[in-house]
Structure 1
Amino acid sequence: MLIQFLSVLRRWGLLACTLALLAPSAMAKSTEVILVFGDSLSAGYGIAQQQAWPALLEQKLQQQGRPMRVVNASVSGETTAGGLTRFPAALKQHRPRWVILALGANDGLRGLPVSAMQNNLRQMIQAARQAGAKVHLVGMQMPPNYGADYTRQFAAVFPALAKQYQLSLSPFLLAPVIQTPSYFQADQLHPTAAAQPLLLNYVLQNFKP
């Protein structure tokens, strides 16, 4: 009996050690994920990755005692069509609790049909919801040289989708910096590192994870 009892203790001891080793990994997996899915404006084009506003978002949440993991799956040059092809795999891989959807700028710069952009965004919103994720939509606007009709229709897509699906919305990501040329890199398209905290604060005005 004593030998059997000692054998049971050894097995339990091994089990306890195994659980102790697995605990950090399990905790890491249970941390809620925010998936930022955008283009170069969110990817940190021209600056260090840790300076981009999605990285600053994770830092800010940790400082507030909310240790969420922010996955920045943004790709420079991405259109909504390209994002739509990548989106299902990103949802499956990261299993986010929230998705910050910040695509559309490259559709506008290329003059792509607004209706196609809207449909692509709609499909991503629906896919995120089916995967159990909440969506925060980040909008964009085009400069007036694209024509009054196009710029108006383009800008209207984001609030229309937000209303249809009852999403939180940041109407225009560049709103806090667009009037200050010094907040842009030499190409006058991409925000500098100094602009990133302003972009983050703008997103957080309506994004409440």
Structure 2
Amino acid sequence: MKKFLYVSSMLVLLLVIRPASANVSLLIFGDSLSAGYGISQADTWVAEIERRWQQDYPEYSIINASISGDTTQGGLRRLAEVVERHQPDAVFIELGGNDGLRGFQIDSIRSNLSEMIHYLQNRDIHVALSQIEIPPNMGPRYTDQFRSLFADIAEQHNIELVPFFMLDIATDPGLMQSDGIHPNLQAQEAIADIMEPQLRAIAEQAASE
């Protein structure tokens, strides 16, 4: 009887501590800024965070499902297959930049992002959205509408809006490729420094849900 009570107590203890120690996977669902355009996959800021987590936070894993050139429409088309393959606990959406640079309709961008978020939330997957900024090439009206779009979506769906990690990077020519759009190899560690604590907080939130 005592042995049974001991085993039962241990099972209860394991159930109590499991959420804190359970493995949590975070999927990065973005475009070239996260995919590492022009550099090796092993050198991207996502890969750098993965190395840090393997050493310091092995309970968390990060998956990079970003594709250079992707749009919100492309992301929406491929989301179900990516989720099915990786079964993430949380997803960080970093899409919209290519839409904005091409002047896509704001309502279309909004609809695509909202559908992605809705799909993930219906599957109890924690979602966070990146703010995206674009150059003012499309004019002040479009640029302002594009900028405010992301905060509106985050508020509508009650998800976290993560500040755009390129804000401080893009103003430093030493951290940018010659096209003036993509971060270079030297920028990847700096981006990892910016994003690691924010993504870890997202993983922690997913673990607690």
TM-score of the aligned structures, taking structure 1 as reference length:
0.81
CA–CA distance in structure 2, aligned partners of residues 56 and 163 of structure 1: 30
- Of 179, 182, 201 in structure 1, the residue corresponding to residue 174 of structure 2 is 182
- Aligned pair 1:172/2:172, yes or no? no
Could you tell me which residue of structure 2 aligns to residue 7 of structure 1?
none
* Residue from 119, 136, 139 that aligns with 1:144: 136
Matched, 1:200 2:192: yes
Q: Is the contact between residue 95 and residue 131 of structure 1 (CA under 8 Å) also seen in structure 2? A: no
Q: Deviations over 1:84-112 (max 9, x none)?
A: 00001111111101101000010011110
Q: Equivalent residue for 1:57?
A: 49
After superposition, where does 1:32-51 map in structure 2 within 5 Å?
Answer: 32-51=24-43
Which aligned pairs between 1:1-209 and structure 2 lie closer than 5 A? 31-207=23-199, 208=201, 209=203
1:70 Cα offset (Å)? 1.6
Q: Is this contact kept in 1: 2:170–2:183, CA < 8 A?
A: no
Q: Runs (4+) of structure 1 moved beyond 6 Å?
A: none
Contact 1:183 1:194 in 2 (8 A): yes
Asked if the contact 1:176–1:202 (Cα under 8 Å) also holds between the matched residues in 2, the reply is no
CA distance in 1, matches of 2:61, 2:173: 32
SS at match of 2:186: helix
Q: Is the 8 A contact 2:91 2:127 kept in 1?
A: yes
Deviates more, 1:95-104 or 1:57-66: 57-66
Task: Give the residue type in structure 2 aligned to 1:160.
Answer: D
Identity level (%)? 37
Cα distance, 1:113 vs. partner? 0.5
Q: Which amino acid aligns with 2:107?
A: S
Structure 2, gaps ≥5 residues long:
1-21, 204-209
SS at match of 1:192: coil
Equivalents in 2 of 1:136, 1:66: separation in Å?
Answer: 21
Provide the rounded CA distance (Å) in 2 between the counterparts of 1:71 and 1:196: 16
Counterpart contact for 2:170–2:180, Cα < 8 Å: no
Residue 131 of structure 1 and its aligned partner are, at CA, apart by 1.8
User: In the TM superposition, what is the alpha-carbon distance from 1:32 to its structure 2 partner?
Assistant: 2.6
After superposition, what is the alpha-carbon deviation per residue over 1:5-40, rounded to whole angstroms, capped at 9, x for unaligned? xxxxxxxxxxxxxxxxxxxxxxxxx84321111001
Distance of 1:130 and 1:57 partners within structure 2? 28
Q: Aligned partner of 1:46: which letter?
A: G
| Structure possessing the higher radius of gyration over alpha carbons | 1
Unpaired segments ≥5 residues, structure 1: 1-29
Query: Displacement of 1:143 after TM fit?
Result: 1.0
Residue type of the alignment partner of 1:53: W
Shift of 1:159: 1.2
CA deviations over 1:63-89 (Å, ceiling 9, x no partner): 223342221111111010011000011
Contact kept in structure 1, 2:45 and 2:191, CA below 8 Å? yes
